[in-house]
């Protein structure tokens, strides 16, 4: 594991199971440093989304230790409103399906929701909405209902509702799923600019074409819900035998260079 001096997350022998099911994560250990660009890789069903939800504070592991920002996080911490509020201000989570994340009557209300929960002053809320709307070019959407937007517009609004909180860590589950090519390019550029600004970026995907564009480190999961490799993305995507072994690419991948 990496040196923990600047670690935002540290996982030690962590395991998780949903009620009545087999373990989704088994004996997981790694750390993520501030400012890193990390991608969680693996075939569908290997536990990527569950891991991200643990990092985002939406689930608690049954076994092992989870430290965030040098604090040993336990189930009891999530019953402490002050701790939970501070944590979710520092860690932003973008769901794979934007429809799950958007529930307010207008885009403006959607962006303001988190700030209102943090009891932010009204004038500061207006200022932040104005700034984030300009950054993401969604000013024309502010009075529209989120459910009427296109997939790309919904993704931008979901991002705005998180980025307006100015989190230190941004976690995205399958960030380009359902996006058209132009919006995918836009999102990759945005994520890289956020990293340059000092944000820690954690994503999950099974799309190898995307990985090297948004991350420098890859944590690869096997289908038995364990870590198969933790190394640079450049090394991972060249290890075709390993990618085949974890069912991330098919048997033709070496010849056609396509998933």
pLDDT for position 5 = 58
**Residue positions counted in the chain:** 259
pLDDT for position 33 = 97
Contact residues for 122 (Cβ-Cβ < 8 A; gap 6+): none
DSSP-assigned letter for residue 6: G
d(CA 163, CA 27): 32
pTM metric for this prediction: 0.91
pLDDT for position 207 = 83
d(CA 81, CA 213): 37
pLDDT for position 249 = 87
Phi, psi of 152 (to 5 degrees): -65, -40
Contact residues for 226 (Cβ-Cβ < 8 A; gap 6+): 26, 27, 28
pLDDT for position 255 = 57
Q: Which residues of the chain have pLDDT under 50?
A: 1-4, 257-259
pLDDT for position 125 = 96
Query: Helix, strand, or coil here: 219?
Result: strand
Question: What are the angstrom distances between the C-alpha of 163 and each of 3, 66, 156?
Answer: 28, 24, 10
d(CA 141, CA 137): 9
Contact residues for 212 (Cβ-Cβ < 8 A; gap 6+): 233, 234, 237
β-strands 71-72, 63-68 pairing = antiparallel
Domain range summary for the chain, segments of one domain joined by +: 3-245
| Residue keyed to tokens 């019953």 | 79
d(CA 202, CA 93): 9
pLDDT for position 258 = 43
Question: What are the angstrom distances between the C-alpha of 116 and each of 104, 125, 185?
Answer: 13, 8, 32
Beta partners for residue 201, in sequence order:
37, 170
The CA angle 87-129-8, to the nearest 5 degrees, is 25
d(CA 23, CA 221): 14
pLDDT for position 162 = 96
Domain 3-245 part of CATH 3.10.180.10 = no
């Amino acid at each position: 594991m990496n040196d923990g001096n600047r670690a935002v997350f540290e996982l030690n022998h962590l395991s998780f199971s949903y009620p009545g099911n087999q373990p989704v994560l088994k004996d997981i250990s790694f750390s993520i440093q501030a400012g890193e660009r990390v991608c969680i890789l693996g075939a569908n069903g290997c536990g990527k989304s569950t891991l991200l939800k643990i990092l985002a504070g939406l689930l608690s592991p049954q076994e092992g230790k989870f430290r965030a920002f040098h604090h040993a996080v336990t189930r009891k911490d999530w019953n402490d409103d002050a701790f939970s509020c501070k944590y979710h201000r520092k860690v932003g989570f973008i769901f794979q399906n934007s429809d799950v994340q958007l529930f307010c009557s207008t885009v403006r209300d959607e962006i303001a929701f988190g700030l209102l929960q943090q009891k932010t002053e009204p004038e500061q809320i207006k200022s932040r909405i104005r700034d984030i709307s300009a950054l993401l070019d969604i000013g024309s959407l502010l009075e529209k209902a989120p459910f009427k937007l296109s997939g790309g517009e919904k993704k931008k609004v979901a991002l705005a509702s998180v980025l307006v909180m100015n989190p230190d860590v941004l976690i995205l589950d399958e960030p380009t799923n359902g996006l058209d090519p132009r919006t995918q390019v836009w999102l990759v550029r945005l994520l890289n600019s956020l990293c340059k600004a000092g944000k820690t970026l954690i994503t999950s995907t099974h799309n190898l074409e995307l990985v090297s564009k948004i991350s420098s480190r890859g944590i690869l999961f096997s289908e038995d819900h364990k870590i198969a490799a933790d190394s640079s993305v450049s090394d991972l995507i060249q290890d075709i035998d390993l990618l085949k072994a974890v069912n991330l690419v098919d048997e033709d991948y070496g010849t056609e260079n396509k998933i």
